[in-house]
């Protein structure tokens, strides 16, 4: 009984074979920063427009305490969705 696995080429040959069949071009850090900057600008604009819309609701406009809580959460809250974008932008080239 033969327990050996099927033949596979040596590691450098496998890497060359995989790279030649896939041919996926990696995005450079410069391109990621460009698209990330656009994504961050869109995020900030949409976040601020949504914040202004919610801030005008009567139940929030009538309470000073709720307004203070809302503005703190809205002011800091955009950072959470921005962190993955910034991490993706700062990832080194492959």
- For residue 92, the model assigns a pLDDT of 85
pLDDT per residue as tens digits for the range 43-68: 999 999 999 999 898 988 888 899 99
Q: Report domain extents, the chain.
A: 28-90
23, 29 Cβ separation under 8 angstroms: no
- The Cα 53–Cα 13 span in angstroms is 58
Q: What is the pTM of this model?
A: 0.66
Mind listing the pLDDT tens digit for each residue in 4-27?
Answer: 666 665 666 656 655 555 555 678
Residue 47 to residue 39: CA distance in whole angstroms: 12
Q: How far apart, in Å, are the Cα atoms of 55 and each of 10, 66, 68, 72, 73?
A: 63, 10, 11, 12, 12
């Amino acid at each position: 009984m033969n327990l050996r696995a099927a033949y596979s080429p040596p590691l450098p040959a496998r890497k060359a074979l995989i790279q030649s069949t896939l041919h996926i071009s990696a995005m450079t850090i410069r391109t990621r920063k460009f698209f990330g900057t656009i994504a961050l600008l869109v995020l900030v604009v949409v976040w601020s427009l949504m914040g202004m819309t919610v801030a005008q609701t009567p139940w929030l406009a009538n309470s000073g305490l709720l307004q203070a809580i809302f503005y703190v959460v809205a002011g800091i809250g955009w950072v959470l969705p921005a962190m993955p974008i910034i991490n993706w932008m700062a990832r080194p080239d492959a």
